Every structure is written in C-alpha cells, then in structure tokens.
C-alpha cells in the first residue's frame, strides 16, 4: 500500500511540475529529474530501485511506439542524410570519444569503455520537443530531432550489447557482424510481421476499451518477444508502429479511434512524468554505492564525461553541417537553400539531453562488470547534467537564435482542410435532394472558413445559429440529469455527441458557444 500511495504522490508532484514548466517555458523532464533528486536526499525518503528490464519495457516501449506512430515517412526520407549522420554517425563518434576518455582517465578495459560510450551517446528528444513546439522553430529541425530520437537508441543499444558481451567474455568483438545483421535485418522483418498480425487482430475488435487494452498488451509483447529472440527491441517497435500507422486509421471506426488516441496520449504523458521523477530518485542509491578514497575521482570522471558528451555532439553537428554546406555551394541554388544553417546546427547540437534509456541501460550492467560504479555515476551525471544545463538554457538560446516562426504544418493543415471540403462538395454536387442542399450548404460554409481562417466574417449565420442552439442543448441536458430524468451514462453519451457537434460548427477552432443571440 505504501508504494501505491507514494506513486500517487509522485504523480501529483510530477503533474504540478509539468504545469510549472509550461509557465517557465523549460522542458518538464528537467524539473522532474531535479525534483526526483531532491526527494531522494530527503531524510527518511524511500529508496526505489528500478528493475532495468521492467523499466525498458514499461517506460520505453509505449513512448517509443507513440512517437513512431506519429512519425512522417515523408520527413524520414527527405532528411535521411541528416538522420543517418546523427542517429549513426553522432552516436558512433560520441561512443568513440567517451570510450577514449574512459580508457585513459578511468583505466577502463576497452570493451567496458565502449559500453560507457554507448550508454551516454543517444539523446532523447522528449525534453527538447516540449520547448521547441512553443517557439515554432523550422520544421526541418524538429523533424530531424524526432527522427533521430527514434533511431539513435537502436544504434547505441546494439553497440552496448556487443561491448557488454565482449567485456564479460561471452562474445568476441570480431564475431559481432552476425549479431549486427540479426539485430538490424531481423528486427525490421519481425516488426513488419508483428504489425501485420496486429492489424488483423485490431480490425476484428469493435469495443474501444478492448481495442486499447490489446494495443498496449501487443506493444509490450512485441518488445519482450524481440528482446528474447536477440533482436533490437527498439528497431522492432519502430517498424511495428510505422506499419500499423499506415493502415490502421482507415480500418478503425471514428469513435474507437478518438477513444484510443485519448487514452494513449494520457498514458504516455503519465509514463513520461513518472519515468523522469523515478530517474531522479535513483541518485541516492547511485551515490551510496561509491565510498572511500575513490569517490572524488569518480565524481571528477563523471563531470569530465558530461563535458565530453556535450562538446562531442556540438563538434559533430557543426562538422557535418559545414561539409554539407561546402558541397551545396557547387550544387545550384536549390541545394544551397536546402542546406542546413549554422544556427540550426547550434540548436540541434544543444538539443542533446539524455534521458531514461541512458540511465536504465547503465543500471542494467552486470554486478561484476568492470568499472560498473563509476560508469553508472557517469551515466547519471550525463542525464541530470544535460537535462538541467541544456534543458533550462534552451529557451534563452532560442531567443538568441531568433528563428522565424515556422508555419509549415499550419499551412499544410489549412491547404488540406480546403481540399477535403472541396472533395465533399464535389461528391454532393451530384445529389439534388433537399437534404443534400442543406448538407452542401454546411460544407460550403466550412470551406469558406478554411480558406479564410483569420477572417471573422467567414463564419456564416448557419454556424452562429448552431453554436447558439448547442448552448441551449447543453443547458437542457444538465436539467435532465439534475431532475433525474436521465442517468449519467445517457448524459455522457449525449454530451459527447454535443461536443462533436460543437467542434463541427467551429471548423477552425475560432468560435465559442454563444450565450446570447
């Protein structure tokens, strides 16, 4: 019971800090991790140990699936060069640099030093995206950061698995090629097959609650099976999610889709906030494992690794941007315009906050792993240091870089809205009944609003009357429940129908129900 009560308290604290982070315009994981560290050192605070295998499946699998589900294949293809250079190149470069520092400074064996480099190499885009969305930075940057966060964990964990196996003597580095091929090709095939099987199952379930439960259970099952087969669970989940995302929406009813999306959004938010608070709570146990004369040296090593990780990413990003811009000079005006900018390089380089994956895989090291304690401390220092230093300074950096507000997504939404309204009108033009005329008038009104989203006069008398009537519907519905004519189940069902009617009468989200007419 105590654990349940503590979880509730942590969740409420996390929600409050998340609201505060929005007001301060700083990444909420930064505040959550700091709060976790503060709570960890409060006298009498419980020590919460996270089972690494459980943490990866519980926190990473659904969050990763949610991100992959919303990922644009168009953007992955369009920015594939930058994504490869970050998700593969930056991870390998950071791993090599950190491994060299670990080998020279801490005297770690080569395999253990490489494992440390792989642990701290992959950034997490969750922290950065919370702030970037508020500033409307260029779409290219947000797309690259989101795509990188999907793929870099797979690269880092593959290097991690091989180096850990080599360090404990179960695998020779020269025999790593078959493992790499299995983890990449096998994971892609498995993810696609799991996705097709999941589609067959989901399309046969009509109940929204059952469908959502099956989706969550399927996500955890895919992760566990891929891990047991020796595949890359991350690559498998990403391919699995993308496979579903391309087909499932057309095969699901609107009600089931709305319900599922709402539950996933809430669940992913809860998992994120709990993950970063629990991550901070690991501070006391991590520091407690280090004692004696070597403690000072371990802290110095951890601080050095933090600095090296931050500088290595900045150097790598600036270097590849300089090379791309150099090649673009001889490629004509189109290639020059598409080339990344140095302002963008600074932002991408600074958005290198590490997250839960780094801490969890460090804690997952075997107990007899060489140099385990200083490695775990360094990983924690990198996570907390990047979340605090880079996360909190991200807002001032964005103000200094002064990007123009990017309206790419807003423009695409506006153009698509006009197109789908026109498509509805085209098909209705063949209908001549009185009912068709009424429906056609509704779509024409919505198209006019879509074409002029900033024009208040674009709203028609029809929309205003509907919103006025909806206000009266809500009042009547409240009266029916208050006097006992209907129960809560009927009330909520009708309430949902009125909600959708109000949204339909406010196409661009510009109008509110009128209290008078």
DSSP state of 339: S
Per-residue pLDDT band for 509 (boundaries 50, 70, 90) equals very low
More confident position, 429 or 335? 429
Q: How wide is the angle at C-alpha 67 spanned by C-alphas 62 and 73, nearest 5°? A: 135
Do 144 and 125 contact (CB within 8 A), yes or no?
A: no
Residues of the chain with pLDDT > 70: what percent?
88
**How far is residue 369's CA from residue 169's CA, in Å, rounded to a whole number?**
11
- The two tokens of residue 172 are 């020779």
- Say how many Å lie between the first and final Cα of the chain, rounded: 54
Q: How wide is the angle at C-alpha 460 spanned by C-alphas 456 and 465, nearest 5°? A: 115
How far lies 430's CA from each of 438, 440, 460, in Å? 14, 11, 24
What is the per-residue pLDDT for 510?
Answer: 44
**How far is residue 246's CA from residue 32's CA, in Å, rounded to a whole number?**
34
The secondary structure of 67-112 as a DSSP string is: HHHT--HHHHHHTHHHHHIIIIIIHHHHHHHHHHHHHHHS---HHH
What is the per-residue pLDDT for 515?
Answer: 42
The CA dihedral of 166, 167, 168, 171, to the nearest 10 degrees, is 0
Where do the structural domains in the chain lie, given as residue ranges?
1-405, 407-458, 463-516
Helix (H, G, I), strand (E, B) or coil at 371: coil
What is the per-residue pLDDT for 471?
Answer: 84
- Exposed, middle or buried by CB within 10 Å (0-12, 13-18, 19+), for 229? middle
Angle, in degrees to the nearest 10, between helices 391-401 and 28-40 = 150
Average pLDDT in the 463-489 region? 81
Largest CA distance in the chain: 89
pLDDT tens for 367-406 read 788 888 889 889 989 998 998 899 889 889 988 988 888 7
pLDDT tens for 294-308 read 678 888 999 999 999
Residues of the chain with pLDDT > 90: what percent?
19
What is the per-residue pLDDT for 236?
Answer: 92
pLDDT for 505 beyond 70: no
Do 94 and 316 contact (CB within 8 A), yes or no?
A: yes
pLDDT tens for 62-114 read 888 888 887 778 888 888 888 999 999 999 999 999 999 999 998 899 999 99
Do 320 and 116 contact (CB within 8 A), yes or no?
A: no
- The two tokens of residue 278 are 């629990």
Per-residue pLDDT band for 131 (boundaries 50, 70, 90) equals low
**How far is residue 446's CA from residue 505's CA, in Å, rounded to a whole number?**
8
Per-residue pLDDT band for 251 (boundaries 50, 70, 90) equals confident
Per-residue pLDDT band for 511 (boundaries 50, 70, 90) equals very low
CATH entry, 1-405, from 3.30.2130.10, 3.30.300.180, 1.20.1530.20, 3.30.70.1400: 1.20.1530.20
Do 454 and 407 contact (CB within 8 A), yes or no?
A: no
pLDDT tens for 138-182 read 888 888 888 888 888 888 888 888 888 888 766 665 566 676 777
What is the per-residue pLDDT for 89?
Answer: 93
Q: Which of 86-90, 303-307, 342-346, 506-510 has the lowest mean pLDDT?
A: 506-510
E strand intervals along 300-387: none
Q: Which of 122-136, 229-243, 301-315, 422-436 has the lowest mean pLDDT?
A: 122-136
DSSP state of 433: S
DSSP state of 119: H
Q: How wide is the angle at C-alpha 13 spanned by C-alphas 61 and 260, nearest 5°? A: 40
- The two tokens of residue 6 are 């503590």
**How far is residue 364's CA from residue 52's CA, in Å, rounded to a whole number?**
5
More confident position, 506 or 115? 115
What is the per-residue pLDDT for 315?
Answer: 95
**How far is residue 155's CA from residue 157's CA, in Å, rounded to a whole number?**
6
Sign of the C-alpha dihedral computed for residues 300, 358, 173 and 319 taken in this order: negative
Do 282 and 380 contact (CB within 8 A), yes or no?
A: yes
pLDDT tens for 196-237 read 999 888 888 878 888 889 999 999 999 999 988 888 888 899
What is the per-residue pLDDT for 356?
Answer: 79
Per-residue pLDDT band for 331 (boundaries 50, 70, 90) equals low
pLDDT for 453 beyond 80: no
- The two tokens of residue 73 are 């294949």
**How far is residue 299's CA from residue 301's CA, in Å, rounded to a whole number?**
5
Burial code (b: 16+ CB inside 10 Å, e: under 16) for 39-76 equals bbeeeeeeebebeeeebbbbbbbbbbbbbbbebeeebb
What is the per-residue pLDDT for 507?
Answer: 52
Instruction: Give φ, ψ of 339 to 5 degrees.
Output: -70, 145
**How far is residue 136's CA from residue 405's CA, in Å, rounded to a whole number?**
5
Element housing 114 (H / E): helix 110-120
User: Mean pLDDT for the chain?
Assistant: 82
Closest CA to 506 of 462, 475, 474, 472: 462
What is the per-residue pLDDT for 102?
Answer: 94
Average pLDDT in the 117-121 region? 94
- The two tokens of residue 444 are 């024409």
pTM of the predicted protein model = 0.80
- The two tokens of residue 132 are 């970037």
Instruction: Give φ, ψ of 355 to 5 degrees.
Output: -135, -145
What is the per-residue pLDDT for 460?
Answer: 58
What is the per-residue pLDDT for 99?
Answer: 96
Closest CA to 69 of 307, 308, 197, 240: 240
**How far is residue 469's CA from residue 456's CA, in Å, rounded to a whole number?**
20
**How far is residue 138's CA from residue 122's CA, in Å, rounded to a whole number?**
22
What is the per-residue pLDDT for 36?
Answer: 82
- The two tokens of residue 363 are 């804690």
């Amino acid at each position: 019971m105590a654990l349940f009560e503590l979880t509730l308290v942590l969740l409420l604290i996390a929600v409050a800090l998340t609201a505060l982070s929005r007001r301060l315009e700083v990444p909420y994981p930064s505040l959550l991790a700091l709060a976790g560290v503060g709570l960890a050192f409060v006298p009498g605070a419980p020590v919460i140990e996270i089972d690494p295998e459980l943490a990866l499946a519980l926190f990473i699998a659904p969050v990763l699936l949610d991100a992959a589900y919303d990922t644009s294949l168009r953007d992955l293809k369009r920015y594939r060069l930058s994504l490869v250079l970050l998700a593969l190149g930056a991870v390998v470069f950071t791993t090599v640099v950190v491994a060299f520092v670990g080998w020279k400074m801490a005297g770690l064996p080569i395999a253990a030093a490489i494992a440390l480099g792989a642990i701290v190499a992959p950034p997490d885009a969750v922290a950065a995206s919370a702030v970037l969305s508020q500033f409307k930075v260029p779409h290219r940057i947000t797309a690259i950061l989101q795509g990188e966060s999907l793929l870099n964990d797979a690269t880092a964990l593959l290097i991690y698995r091989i180096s850990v196996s080599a360090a404990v003597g179960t695998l020779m580095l020269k025999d790593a090629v078959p493992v790499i091929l299995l983890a990449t090709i096998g994971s892609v095939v498995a993810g696609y097959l799991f996705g097709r099987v999941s589609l067959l199952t989901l399309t046969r379930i009509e109940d929204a609650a059952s469908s959502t439960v099956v989706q969550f259970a399927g996500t955890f099952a895919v992760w566990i099976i891929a891990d047991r087969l020796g595949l890359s669970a991350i690559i498998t989940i990403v391919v699995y999610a993308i496979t579903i995302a391309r087909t499932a929406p057309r095969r699901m009813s609107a009600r089931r889709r709305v319900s599922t999306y709402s539950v996933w959004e809430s669940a992913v938010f809860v998992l994120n906030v709990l993950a970063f608070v629990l991550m901070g709570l690991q501070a006391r146990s991590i520091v407690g494992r280090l004692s004696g004369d070597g403690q000072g040296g371990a802290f110095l090593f951890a601080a050095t690794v933090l600095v090296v990780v931050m500088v290595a990413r900045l150097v790598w990003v600036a270097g590849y941007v300089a090379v791309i811009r150099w090649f673009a000079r001889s490629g004509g005006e189109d290639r020059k315009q598409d080339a990344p900018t140095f302002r963008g390089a600074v932002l991408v380089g600074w958005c290198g906050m590490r997250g839960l994956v780094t801490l969890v895989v460090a804690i997952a090291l075997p107990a007899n792993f060489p140099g385990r304690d200083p490695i775990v401390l360094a990983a924690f220092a990198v996570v907390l240091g990047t979340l605090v230093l880079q996360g909190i300074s991200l807002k001032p950096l964005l103000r200094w870089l002064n990007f123009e507000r990017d309206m790419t997504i807003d423009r695409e939404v506006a153009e698509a809205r006009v197109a789908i309204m026109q498509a509805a009108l085209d098909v209705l033009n063949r209908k001549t009944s009185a009912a068709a005329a009424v429906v056609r008038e509704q779509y024409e009104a919505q198209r006019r609003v879509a074409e002029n989203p900033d024009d208040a006069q674009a709203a028609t008398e029809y929309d205003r009357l509907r919103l006025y009537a909806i206000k009266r519907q809500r009042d009547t519905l409240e009266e029916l429940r208050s006097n006992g004519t209907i129960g809560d189940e009927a009330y909520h069902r009708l309430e949902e129908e009125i909600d959708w009617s109000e949204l339909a009468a406010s196409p661009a989200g510009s109008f509110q129900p009128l209290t008078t007419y």
